[in-house]
């Protein structure tokens, strides 16, 4: 005895790759045109080594306008009191391609690890740009030379 066969046809093997290809091709343009940041740091993060409490270490970092228009910086802030920044004032305008050198100083007041962010607020396409900073305050020299 023969069983009746289903009247439904199985999904064609070609339909699944075609559907996948169409989905990917429609979504790719949405991801491919990601904007580059108009303001960029010269470093991805600043790390200070071990700095003796009561002393300080300064590092240079550069902020660059990589866009085609002038950017006005409205604020540059540091969220940890162990760090300070100099070399810029609020209201500074960076024309297209112009850079600004900033000095970041780590002056630990106590032993221990400190970290924070420098935040630049501006009218750039990336209106809030952060740079991670970190350092370690130590009570005495980690390594001492002796004769």
State pLDDT tens for residues 69-83. Answer: 999 999 999 999 999
- What's the chain's average pLDDT? 83
**Cα torsion angle, 121, 99, 42, 55, sign:** negative
Whether pLDDT at 109 is above 70: yes
pLDDT of 46 reads: 95
Helix, strand, coil percent values for the chain (each to nearest 5) = 10, 45, 45
**How do beta strands 45-52 and 128-138 pair?**
parallel
pLDDT of 87 reads: 87
Cα separation, 38 vs 129, in Å, equals 10
CA nearest to 84, candidates 102, 105, 69: 105
Tell how far CA 21 is from the center of its chain.
Answer: 33
What is the C-alpha radius of gyration for the chain, rounded to an integer number of angstroms? 27
Provide the whole-model pTM: 0.70
């Amino acid at each position: 005895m023969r069983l009746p066969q289903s009247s439904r046809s199985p999904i064609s093997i070609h339909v699944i790759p075609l559907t996948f290809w169409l989905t990917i091709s429609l979504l790719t343009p949405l991801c491919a045109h990601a904007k580059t940041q108009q303001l960029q740091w010269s470093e991805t993060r600043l790390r200070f080594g071990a700095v003796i409490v009561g002393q300080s270490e300064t590092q240079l970092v550069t902020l660059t306008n990589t866009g085609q228009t002038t950017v006005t910086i409205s604020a540059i802030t540091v969220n940890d009191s162990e760090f300070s920044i100099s070399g810029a004032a609020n209201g500074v305008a960076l024309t297209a391609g112009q850079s600004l050198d900033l000095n970041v100083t780590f002056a630990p007041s106590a032993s221990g690890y400190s970290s924070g962010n420098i935040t630049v607020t501006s009218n750039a396409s990336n209106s809030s740009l952060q740079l991670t900073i970190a350092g370690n305050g130590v009570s005495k020299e980690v390594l001492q030379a002796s004769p």
